[in-house]
Structure 1
Amino acid sequence: MAVTNDIKSLLPHREPFLFVDEIVSCDENGSVSTRKFTENDFFFKGHFPEYPVVPGVILVETMAQAGGAALSFQKKFDDGSLFFLGTVDKVKFKNQVRPGDTVRMEITNLRVSKRMIKQAGKAYVGDTLCAEAEWMCLVGSAN
């Protein structure tokens, strides 16, 4: 059972660039979220039409969105805060994610402050590790 699936209240992203369906669990140490990719996702038309695969950069973005949404859900930042991806490190792609796959993102909070987030994440389909990365986001506002 999800903690929340009201992701639009937690992130400024919107379709077609919102990649979190629900937050399954979260605490100060990290979170677990999911996203089901479908044949309707825009990038499958070109990556690749004969053998559609979720682009690696989308998997990294999905993990970063999941981590930010969970922190927003826990009210770690001022309302209206935006997260700007600053660095991406230690990225590894281990397995493909295809249309119809539900990805489970397991995020670990490495450091969280009012101005900066450092997280690590792993993306799984079932028990299969598909991607992993570390990233840092700067926290700001639209003003």
Structure 2
Amino acid sequence: MTETSPDILINEIMELIPHRIPMLLIDKLTDVKLGESATGIKNVTMNEWFFQGHFPGHPVMPGVLIVEAMAQAAGVLVTKSMSQNSDGKIIYFMSIEEAKFRKPVVPGDTLKLKITLLKSRGNIWKFKGEAWVEDVMTDEATFTAMIASK
């Protein structure tokens, strides 16, 4: 049986990954199944730093930052799944594949970042990520990360 976890809120996220504002791009994780999947939540507001230049008068969240948010959600899932074995470790991107940017994400949207582990071997983890706003998939990607010593 898969071990579940309660929602992971912002203070715990900041204990599990090193990202900080302005590069911390997730607000919480829900539906957490340790070692398997989770849903990251990102509330997109007009106050985001990237909207100053992307694009003035027509704010759109950059797709690469949506993929980064997926990776951060995956990083929280990996670190939480590892428990104490994650002390002194950091997670790095290795690859991004099959990224598709389908629909713009704008201020006022709530992104649901559905992260699913595809496989892991040793310190390498591969995930499928999907970003959703309401019932519409806005972005998707497959990405690989490596766990290394700090």
2:142 aligned with 1:134, yes or no?
Answer: yes
SS in structure 2 at match of 1:111: strand
SS in structure 1 at match of 2:42: strand
Deviation string, structure 1 residues 51-92 (Cα, Å, up to 9, x no partner): 000001001001011111122122264213211111100000
2:110 aligned with 1:102, yes or no?
Answer: yes
Report runs of 4+ in structure 1 exceeding 3 Å deviation: none
5+ residue gaps, structure 2, are 1-5
2:79 aligned with 1:75, yes or no?
Answer: no
TM-score of the two chains, using structure 2 as the length reference: 0.88
5+ residue gaps, structure 1, are none
Deviation at 1:31, TM superposition (A): 1.0
Give the counterpart letter for 1:53 in structure 2.
V
> Which residue is 2:57 aligned to?
50
Deviation string, structure 1 residues 78-126 (Cα, Å, up to 9, x no partner): 2132111111000001111001211001111011244111001000011
Give the counterpart letter for 1:107 in structure 2.
I
> Which residue is 2:99 aligned to?
91
SS in structure 1 at match of 2:58: coil
Measured in 2, the distance between the counterparts of 1:24 and 1:90 equals 25
- Tell me the matched-pair count: 141
Measured in 1, the distance between the counterparts of 2:78 and 2:31 equals 11
> Which residue is 1:8 aligned to?
14
